[in-house]
Amino acid sequence: MYLRMDTNNSIFLQAKSLLTEYLEKRHMRKTPERFEVLRAICQTDDIFSIEQLNGKMQMNSTFQVSRPTLFNALETFVDAQLVIKHTLQRASLYERNIDKRPRVCLVCDQCGMIKRLERAEVTRFLRDIKTRQFFVRQPVLYLHGLCRKCEMIRRKEIKTSEKKQTTRK
């Protein structure tokens, strides 16, 4: 899902400012590659894989960035809390985190699909969690289960196996 261009630009400017501050505090270089990767990330609101980001950059970027540079940039962005790294069963997926809002992710254990759940009451609950022993930096809640498509396949398989068992008797 692509956002409108003016929204993309304001998100990128905000992210660029946060990244610049982060890099300066740690005496890290402000390379054009990092900012180009950040620009590509700011152009989407979806959860993405490194392969999807790489493909997007190959199609839309003014210059090419190597896969190791992508990995390194993403790790820097995760450390700077500009990106959330979702490490699930099959691979690592990433999500832009400029607004720092709590996230609720529905994860299909069969196909690996991840979808965000947007519910104000759950978001409020996650935002308000406080404890003395632990400071929550990125509130993310994962709900595991089966997506509609995989659940339908599972039910069909159960019905098929039940029919086979009844015909054997």
pLDDT tens profile 8-21: 688 999 999 999 99
pLDDT at 1 over 70: no
pLDDT at site 2:
43
The CATH fold of domain 101-169:
Dna Ligase; domain 1 (3.30.1490)
Indicate the domain borders of the chain: 1-99, 101-169
pLDDT tens profile 65-96: 899 999 999 999 999 999 999 887 667 889 99
Q: List Cβ<8 Å contacts ≥24 apart for 71-79.
A: 73/33, 73/34, 73/37, 73/38, 74/37, 74/50, 76/22, 76/28, 76/34, 77/19, 77/37, 77/38, 77/41, 79/22
pLDDT tens profile 82-136: 999 988 766 788 999 988 888 888 989 888 888 888 888 888 888 787 777 887 7
pLDDT tens profile 23-35: 999 999 999 999 9
pTM of the model: 0.76
The CATH class given to the 1-99 domain equals mainly alpha
pLDDT at site 53:
93
